Amino acid sequence: MLTNFFSNTKPFTSVILIGLFFCYAISAFFGGFISEFDFSLGFWFLVLFGLANFIKSRNNLTFDNSYFFLIFIILIGHVPSVIKIDSFFYSNLVLLVYVRRVYSLQSSKNIIKKLFDSGFWMGISFLIEPFTIVLFPLTFISSILHQHLDYRKLITPIFGILTPIILFYTYHFWYDSPEEFHQLFSFLTYYDFSIYNTFIYKYSLGTILLLIFISFVMKTPRTLSIKNTFRKNWILVCFHLFLTTILMLILKERTGSEIAYLLFPCAIVIANGFELVREKWYSDIILILLFLSSLVHYFM
């Protein structure tokens, strides 16, 4: 029954899933996982959901269903600390705009513009969180997979990323505060992962890792055996997840909300694995167990 309900992308299905998110958010607020719950939080998360769904649908990263959105919401429920508006959220939102351009390179229309835009948005993300620069190779990986890489396509993203950085430098140079600009290039980090030693993070990250592994094993052999556009997109999604994992490892600050970086590529991979489950009753059981597992935090 659940599988049938979420096997389409009707507006009513999206309303139900947004309602589920707000249930998670309210529970996280009263459970002490987040300190604020207001209109701006709801607004910005709706923007995030709309952008994530647009990227998935426009680039055919999954089949035409609501599994991605459902899993995306449930993953948020597994990690209630991501339900907050902070620098990590804004950086993640800008990164989604960036990957929107990266995945759109599968189309040959306006390639140079897309490459410049991808660099530009990466530059803005760099200003918010400098370590996100580690995802910049996605632009060139996508270009190699979907297009023929030449010198123009190589330097265009570089011009794009330099544009906001130069403007930021000019601003601080004008106001005689270059030290704030120089701080962006301080990549000294601390490999302190003690925040993840609590049960909440061990349980949540362990569950996500298990689902990723199962989905990857199920999906990859079938995908690589067929030469089509999705095969290239799947390779790009895997690189996206890999580089995001590196980002998580090298971040200087860890508050729990940085896990939001992982949610989009993880949801894409897990949704693709879930689509391969043919027995509907088995799919229903998986969805129920996945949902119930997201409630563990709120009853401990």
Taking only the tens place, the pLDDT of each residue in 135-151 is 999 999 999 999 888 88
Q: How confident is the model at residue 129 (pLDDT cuts 50, 70, 90)?
A: very high
Predicted pLDDT at 163: 97
Longest CA span, the chain:
65
Residue with tokens 């391969």: 276
pLDDT at 64 over 90: no
Predicted model pTM: 0.95
Residue 158 near residue 197, CB atoms below 8 Å: no
User: pLDDT tens for residues 10-52?
Assistant: 888 999 999 999 999 999 999 888 888 999 999 999 999 999 9
